[in-house]
Amino acid sequence: MRALLLLGAVMIASGAQAQRLDTLRMSCAQARDAVARAGAIVLNSGPDIYDRYVSDRRFCSLGDVTEQAFAPTRDSAMCPVGGLCKTPDSVRRLDEWD
């Protein structure tokens, strides 16, 4: 029974990962369009590298802000695909590193 449950969990995880779009196989315009159409979407940008990108603050938790995010695409090393949701405290702490 345990083996069956484990197999099911692995299959579900594999299926979810396979459905993510890979920015390295997309043009910058395609990646930006995917974020704009979905509002919020998880995109892969390499093996085991992914993030949740949003088109605007409406897709973040209450109190969060958006921070411009870049992802590598087929035609750009730093494509401005959308934003990342951040808590104001984490944004402030990141700014203190400057």
| Number of domains comprising the chain | 1
Taking a C-beta distance cutoff of 8 angstroms, is the pair 75, 28 a contact? yes
What is the sign of the dihedral through the CA atoms of 75, 80, 83 and 88?
Answer: positive
Check pLDDT > 70 for residue 4. Answer: no
Structure confidence at residue 53 (pLDDT): 98
Residue 69 lies in a domain: yes
Provide the domain limits for residue 32.
19-95
Residue 34 lies in a domain: yes
Strands across the sheet with 76-86, in order? Answer: 21-22, 40-46, 49-54, 76-86, 65-73
Structure confidence at residue 96 (pLDDT): 55
Residue 43 lies in a domain: yes
Taking a C-beta distance cutoff of 8 angstroms, is the pair 23, 31 a contact? yes
Residue 12 lies in a domain: no
Give pLDDT tens digits for 21-77.
999 999 999 999 999 999 999 999 988 999 999 999 999 999 999 999 999 999 999
- Closest of 30, 93, 44, 28 to residue 67, by C-alpha: 93
Give pLDDT tens digits for 52-62.
999 999 999 99
Structure confidence at residue 6 (pLDDT): 52
